[in-house]
């Protein structure tokens, strides 16, 4: 079977491709931010591509082009903001809705957007974000640190990720700690100013390649994800796989089995951070719960097998004669 995968989001596609069986040949069409590559270049690649199944990440122009060019059967993969925000916009909402209606199969990376997808396509199902177990796996702690190490792993985005609220929670923590944060995201400049205003010791570093994130997780005593919209993000999943306690706000009704917490205040976040940095039994308990959850739900090897079944079902159904 030949699959053409178009675009990617949060490294989901490239992670899954590594774990397909040899029976599946994948051509992964990615694009850069260069004008030609993200417009005419990707359109030309899609037009010339031939496969048994097409899989498009993010339900905007790449998906629309694939449908316009008659690429079938097609899997449309929604990753969050396309169904949380763009679908309601006056400029691009029509395109997302048309893509949803037209795809042969719809996958959503967050259960928080599943109902939106099913308004337009009843094939929609939740497909968890995968992590690569060859990159992200448990490694022992460096013990005995007097000054704890905190890693803020998400992009700096006050509205979606709640980066400002995480900093305010850290300002309430009384034990000694240092923070490492990545200098990217729409609020990167504002977060640096806020850290200074709060008197926090934060080292801002440049964005690192995806395969270098494991070193940042392993070098930390605790990882902060987000305190934003309540969805489960890639950084939280990968940090859990690396065996580090994670503080990350989720909406529990969408993730009933996930051991992360649903927070209602900055004070609650601060208390959880303090508990995990000072109580070794609580820390170890949280780590083991996290590992059990992500191994059963988010491992790329399991999800690649699940996706392969979806591909085969679509390919077989496309070969059956129409009843019309």
Which of the residues in the chain have pLDDT under 50? 324
Q: Which CATH number fits domain 2-130+299-319: 3.20.20.60, 3.30.360.10, 3.40.50.2000, 3.10.20.30?
A: 3.40.50.2000
pLDDT in tens, 50-88: 999 999 999 999 999 999 999 999 999 999 888 988 888
pTM of the model: 0.93
Q: Between the CA of residue 47 and those of 96, 252, 262, 323, what are the distances in Å?
A: 20, 42, 45, 28
CA atoms within a 13 Å half-sphere pointing along the CA-CB vector of 317: 12
Residue 6 in contact with residue 62, Cβ under 8 Å? yes
Q: Do 2-130+299-319 and 148-297 fold alike per CATH?
A: yes
What pLDDT is attached to residue 281? 95
Tokens of 303: 């999800």
Residue 54 in contact with residue 99, Cβ under 8 Å? no
Residue 200 in contact with residue 130, Cβ under 8 Å? no
Tokens of 136: 């992200």
317 CB-contact burial (10 Å; exposed 0-12 / middle 13-18 / buried 19+): exposed
What pLDDT is attached to residue 14? 95
What pLDDT is attached to residue 86? 84
CATH architecture under which domain 148-297 falls = 3-Layer(aba) Sandwich (3.40)
Helix (H) or strand (E) holding 72: none
What pLDDT is attached to residue 85? 86
What pLDDT is attached to residue 52? 97
What pLDDT is attached to residue 265? 98
Boundaries of every domain in the chain: 2-130+299-319, 148-297
Give 307-321 as a DSSP string.
HHHHHHHHHHHHHSP
What pLDDT is attached to residue 144? 78
């Amino acid at each position: 079977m030949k699959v053409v995968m178009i675009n990617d989001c949060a490294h989901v596609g490239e992670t899954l491709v590594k774990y397909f069986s040899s029976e599946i040949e994948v051509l992964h069409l990615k694009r850069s931010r260069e004008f030609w590559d993200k417009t005419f270049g990707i359109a030309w690649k899609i037009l010339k591509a031939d496969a048994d199944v097409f899989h498009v990440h993010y339900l905007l122009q790449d998906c629309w082009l694939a449908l316009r060019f008659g690429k079938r059967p097609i899997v449309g993969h929604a990753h969050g903001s396309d169904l949380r925000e763009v679908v309601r916009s006056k400029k691009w909402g029509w395109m997302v809705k048309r893509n949803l209606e037209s795809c042969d199969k719809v996958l959503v990376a967050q259960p928080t957007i599943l109902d939106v997808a099913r308004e337009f396509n009843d094939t929609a199902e939740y497909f968890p974000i995968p992590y690569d177990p060859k990159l992200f796996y448990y490694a022992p702690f460096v013990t005995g640190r007097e000054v704890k190490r905190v890693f803020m792993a998400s992009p700096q985005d006050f509205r979606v990720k709640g980066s400002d609220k995480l900093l305010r929670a850290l300002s309430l923590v009384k034990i000694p700690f240092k923070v490492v944060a990545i200098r990217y995201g729409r609020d990167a400049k504002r977060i640096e100013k806020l850290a200074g205003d709060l008197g926090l010791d934060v080292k801002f570093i440049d964005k690192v390649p995806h395969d270098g994130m494991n070193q940042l997780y392993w070098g930390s005593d605790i990882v902060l994800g987000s305190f934003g919209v309540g969805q489960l993000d890639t950084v939280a999943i990968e940090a859990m796989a690396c065996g580090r306690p994670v503080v990350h706000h989720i909406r529990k009704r969408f993730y009933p089995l996930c051991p992360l917490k649903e927070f209602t205040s900055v004070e609650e976040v601060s208390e959880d951070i303090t508990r995990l940095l000072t109580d070794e039994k609580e820390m170890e308990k949280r780590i083991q719960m996290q590992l059990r959850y992500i191994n059963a739900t988010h491992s790329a090897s399991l999800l690649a097998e699940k996706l392969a079944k979806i591909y085969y079902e679509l390919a077989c159904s496309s070969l059956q004669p129409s009843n019309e």
